[in-house]
Amino acid sequence: MNEHVVLFDMDGTLTEPRKPFASTLSSPLRQLARLAEIGIVTGSDLPLLQEQMQPVLTDNSIRYSLHVLPCNGTQYLKPPVFPSEPHSLSESNSMQKQMGKVAWRRLMEIIINQQLRASELDIPLSGHFINNRESLINWCPIGRSATDKERKMFERFDKKYKFRKRVLNELRSELTSATIDNVTVKLGGETSFDIYPTGWDKTYSLRYFENSTVWFVGDRAQSPKGNDYEIFKSCEPRSYHTAGPENTINIIEQIIERIQKEK
């Protein structure tokens, strides 16, 4: 493995939320791949990562140095070696097994009751509210089937009424009351919540790169409520906060310059 590994968040960093990979990033990533390994670490599951990042996964100038880390890195796919070889899954963890049946069922009850309360509000309801990603639960009050228009509508509602901030505190309080003290709740993207065993945040992915110099780029890193915060702090001073894919291009250029100076 290369001495340097640059890990990227996906939504809001390499793509707009829930959108395909920003093609303007292809050339910068190819240049970076000549100097470092690249990793994509996201709270999204593997099918969604594959859907959004397909151009990168199949780019021969990138894929042989590309580490795929869905579900905060609790699933890990190694780079391929041969042209016909896909990325291969080498680790996968179960949140349900980690928590145990009783705590798992109680957690589901809490989320379902919160969804029922949210359903009484004037927000879009599209379906697919709870997504079990094996090592992480993603709860989206408007549903992951929401259209772009519905997502924007909810984002305005959330900004005005601080809905997710209030619910975040409620969820944490309910988990404490239920003596479920080994679960973390974070804001996921712009419309959802990520719920996972404590310690299974994006820093989980760092265990695969213990002998490397690790860099990180993400968009939800400035607040402890954001799901990039812990790994951002762990990788300092080689961490960058991005405002979106266009900003990520400039950040990659800065990282390339710094790596070249260190070599």
Which residues are the active-site residues? 9, 11
Q: Both tokens of residue 198?
A: 């404590």
CA distance 167 to 172: 9
The sheet that has 130-132: what strands, in order across it? Answer: 130-132, 137-139, 192-197, 183-188
Closest CA to 154 of 181, 183, 118: 118
Bridge partner residues of 163 (DSSP): none
Instruction: Count the neighbouring beta carbons within 10 Å of the beta carbon of residue 92.
Output: 14
Peptide bond into 237 cis (omega under 30): yes
Kindly report the number of other CB atoms within 10 A of residue 180's CB atom.
Answer: 16
- Among 84, 126, 108, which Cα is nearest to 195's? 108
Token pair listed for 61 = 């100038």
